[in-house]
Structure 1
Amino acid sequence: MIRSVLLSVLSISFLVSCGPDRVQYTNELKREMADSKIKRITDVDLIETIDDLGGKISATVQRELITDLQKTTNPAERTKLCQLQNLPRTKAIAERYALDIRLLGPQDVQNKAFSQKEREILDAYQYNAKQKLAPISNIQKISDTLFVYNMALPADSPICEACFGKQEVPFAVWRLAFSKREVIRRMNSSKK
């Protein structure tokens, strides 16, 4: 009698432990397991990955913004587009890579919401635009967990005028804020 009760209890607990709740978390569990694996990643590996992702993402977002700006002359709609609203691909990229994507202009050089280091970079980009130097990308480590990729737009980009009006010196910069954890998650797991 005791034996049959014990077998019944064990059978029920076994069936309960294999319920649908356990299957529901499989993908999340796999991701967490992959994240917990020890990886040897150098700063060079990290910077190369951010540079590669930043270049591809900024080019994609720029193409989408230019295409959508050319479709409308409505000032209110253009303002929303310049604030990167109503851009489905940009929104999807930001969510997928856990990114903060922004288009910055001359007013952001003095924006106190950004760190001193970021404002200095923006000031340097503005100086380069005045000197008509070719735009280059820049990556800054803001904190232990945050990297910012910046890329100035060329002076002849239609985004400069559409989003920031007529300027003496056309100036606009992409700002992509990467979480270190998300970058490492997307790095090739074979690097050791």
Structure 2
Amino acid sequence: MVHVNKYIVFIVTSIWYIAACDDTSQRGIDSQEVKQEIRNREIKYVTQPQIIDAAFKRGSQITDTLQQALTRQMQKAVAEKSLTEAAAYCKLEQLEAYKQLQEKHTASIKRVRLKAPKADLLLNEMEKQLLDAYQYNQENKLPLENNVQKSGAEEMLFTAPILVSNTVCLKCHGKVGTDLSGEEYQTLQATYRMDSLVNYSLNQPIAIWSILFPRKGLIKSIQAE
């Protein structure tokens, strides 16, 4: 009796499938579209190089977007406010794009000073190692490049140098006595502790981006493409 039931179910299912195909043809639906939909629903195997590439591309896009947004924000602040007031706007937390990108990618986005990073800034072991590597390269005048590394079992870490990329940056981070006056420096120092953030030149690295991506999120986004 069990075998008969299975057989009946198979016959009914087959008839339904044939009928559905006939109905699809009658409605003029392209069979190629149906095949493509089936392929889209198949589970895609994702390789480690694909995950690295995805982290690299997303990290680069995020840092480009945030850097451009920060530049626009600082240009506006410097034009409308005093230098000390404007400096308060050089924070990721002031950017709507920062919140949106963290939520979109379920990512942790940080900026880390190359000189004397904040003591209360929490970095994992891989972030510390890469920060050391960037600091070494800067001190020895070696190139600083974008990088992706596996960070533990569950995350991928994207890092990239942050440069003093325009003259607006020099207003706070440039050479004391040239780009900003001694009085301006003293005022900024009293408010923001600028010790390690002054006397930079244009296009000189001042910090790094550190972005942690969940591997599962990267895999899911690759499979959806």
Name the TM tier (shorter chain): 0.5 to 0.7
2:100 is aligned to: 92
* Shift of residue 180, structure 1, vs aligned partner: 1.0
Alpha-carbon displacement from aligned partner over 1:58-95 (angstroms, at most 9, x marks no partner)? 1111111111122224535533532x112012221111
Equivalent residue in structure 1 for 2:129, among 94, 107, 120: 120
Alpha-carbon spacing, 1:71–1:80, altered in 2? closer, same or farther (3 Å): closer
Alpha-carbon displacement from aligned partner over 1:126-156 (angstroms, at most 9, x marks no partner)? 2222233332111121111111100012355
Work out the CA distance in 1 between the residues paired with 2:139 and 2:62. Answer: 26
Number of residues paired by the alignment?
A: 154
RMSD: 3.0
- Note if 1:181 corresponds to 2:219: no
Contact 2:73 2:89 in 1 (8 A): no
Identity %: 23
The structure 1 segments of at least 4 consecutive aligned residues displaced by more than 4 Å after TM superposition are: 109-112, 167-170
Contact 1:142 1:148 in 2 (8 A): yes
Aligned residue runs from structure 1 range 8-157, under 5 A: 38-73=43-78, 74-75=83-84, 78-82=87-91, 84-105=92-113, 106-108=115-117, 113-154=122-163, 156=165
Work out the CA distance in 2 between the residues paired with 1:137 and 1:177. Answer: 14
User: Unpaired runs of 5+ in structure 2?
Assistant: 1-40, 175-193
Work out the CA distance in 2 between the residues paired with 1:38 and 1:76. Answer: 53
**TM-score normalised according to structure 2 size:** 0.58
Contact 1:109 1:119 in 2 (8 A): no
Letter of the 1:47 counterpart: I
Letter of the 1:143 counterpart: G
Work out the CA distance in 1 between the residues paired with 2:118 and 2:132. Answer: 6
Contact 1:146 1:179 in 2 (8 A): yes
Contact 1:149 1:177 in 2 (8 A): yes
Work out the CA distance in 1 between the residues paired with 2:199 and 2:151. Answer: 29
